[in-house]
Amino acid sequence: MSGSRVQTATAEFQPPSPKSGASAVIEGFAYLAIVAAATLGFLMGWLTCNQAAVVTAALLLSLLSLAWHRFDGGRHPCFFFLCMLTLFQGGRLIAYCAGGETDIFRITLMTSEPFDVSRNVVALTLLSIALSAICFYAPCRWNYRSLPPLRSGSFARFLPYLYLLFCLSVPVQVYKNFCYYQYAKDHGGYLVVFIDHGGMAASIPMAVRAVSLISLPAFVGIFVLERRKRFLRTATAVYFAIAGPILLMGSRGGIFSLVLALWYVAKVKSGERARLYSAGLLGAALVLAGSLIGSFRAADAGSSAFDGPSQFVAGQGSSINITEVAIAYRRQFAPRIFYNLADELRSAFFPTDHMAYVAGKNFDADVSMFLNPAAYQLGSGSGSSYLAEAYLAGGLPGVAIISALLGTLFHGMNVYARNPFGLFLIAMILPDMLLMPRGGLLDWVSAALRVALSVLLLLAGWYFYRAAGRIGGILSGRDCGRAPKLATPKPALEELSGELS
């Protein structure tokens, strides 16, 4: 028995083989060589814009396939990020290859009068997408090793506490989500989230709104620690059922990115390689659900429930327009980019109010006002893009450096996923990070601060829960004449640090 434990521990901490590092270098240089050759061909006039788009789409799809293979069936956050990058920045390119899109690079997002950009802007846009994907993949691939199945250990003692929090929060969360849905229904639909977010939030008490700081982390904690499939499936079904009113409003991004994060958690827990057909079924289900939920939005802001996969992918890929606009009009947007990034640090706590626009404060608002001021005032928005903001901050070198840093961060996240508490934090932050291809560069930092607040609330509740348990144990003890000897309690932070070490 002890010999098998030693072998397991040795296999668990075995360093990556030199062959793995060599293959990572070969893969990186091979993709960079393809990008360099395509760039040279474009500059020499051998490739048209549409042909360059086909090359970029092929590069993204092949890199996605390689990430699936190298990361044990997608058991790495990098794979899911590349999926979102391919969808949001390369969706139009893929739709063009499938015959469903003709004017790939025409700016059609929000604007009432579509316009084209120059050939140089097209080249820089495609180069930024390809370079970012490669620089993001390389650090994740460099020292990758398969993680063993997650072992909860002493963290399993938190499950009763998490179930208690989750059960108490369910009715409050149902009330909150239904009130939001009713308010949106009475005030014009989905766009009220952007034009009257303050009014919608004020429609319910602050204490009720604060429940979201507890219900989501409690559910995620259960998902990470629970091994009994029946209880896990029940908790998951309940959580997504109470999110139904939010989906009926037409809001889908946060829920869908959470689904991908939970998929990653499930594969890390089991230690099993995901099957390709199951991943395909999940992707198809998300596409169909996305089209259906989009049809619940206002008529001028949604999509048809009968949109085919090509139309859906092309619509999601409209975020490439943001990257094009940032590159084409860099002189206009670049001087305020660091003010934009500073504002993103508070985005999780203070959503942008479309009715109180301030120039130079938020890149999403600036580019939306540039494309169509009237539509922005009515609640429409273009979204943002980490690629656009990285290019504004540092050009192509900025895109490469920021993408490499993000890839390094994702590599570190995957390393710490072997610990239950680390996996919990990753599952809480990952949904916002996956939305970066159509969101701000630092929005996830603000989301991480909100997660830190949730963790502090959970720890405070844990103190109260343990104290109540001790008091209940004393009062229900058989020997009332003699008080049981209590061990000196350890602070919760010390317990977590001990588990992490």
Q: Do the domain assignments include residue 333? A: no
Number of domains in the chain: 1
pLDDT (0 to 100) of residue 254: 81
- pLDDT tens digits, 244-255: 888 877 777 788
Give residue 405's pLDDT band: very low, low, confident or very high (50, 70, 90).
Answer: very high
Q: At what angle do helices 212-225 and 253-270 cross, to 10 degrees?
A: 30
pLDDT for the residue 6: 36
Residue 167, in any domain of the structure: yes
- Write the pLDDT tens digit of every residue in 51-70: 999 999 999 999 999 999 88
pLDDT tens figures, 453-470:
889 988 888 888 888 888
CA distance 119 to 125: 10
Tokens 């979102």: give the residue.
84
Q: Look at residue 280 in the predicted model and tell me its pLDDT.
A: 72
At residue 1, does pLDDT exceed 50? no
Q: What is the pLDDT of residues 225-276, one digit of tens each?
A: 998 899 999 999 999 998 888 887 777 778 888 988 999 998 888 877 777 7
3-state secondary structure of 22: helix
Residue 209 counted as domain residue: yes
Does residue 196 belong to any structural domain of this protein? yes
Distances (CA, A) of 52 to 31, 39, 72, 131, 135: 15, 9, 30, 14, 19
Does a structural domain hold residue 199?
A: yes
Of 227, 172, 210, which Cα lies nearest the Cα of 460?
210
Q: Is residue 93, in this structure, part of any structural domain at all?
A: no
| Tens digits of residue pLDDT in 176-215 | 888 888 887 777 777 777 776 677 777 788 878 777 778 8
Q: Say which range, 150-164, 287-301, 461-475, has the weakest mean pLDDT.
A: 287-301
Tokens of residue 195, six digits: 């034009």
Residue 293 lies in a domain: yes
168, two tokens: 């108490």
* Per-residue tokens: 175: 């009330």
Domain interval for residue 261: 154-316
Whether residue 307 is contained in a domain is answered as yes
Please, what is the average pLDDT of the chain?
82
| 268 vs 285: which has the higher pLDDT | 268
Cα–Cα distance, 213 to 348 (Å, whole number): 12
CA dihedral 63, 64, 68, 71 (to 10 degrees): 60
How far apart CA 325 and CA 333 sit, in angstroms, is 9
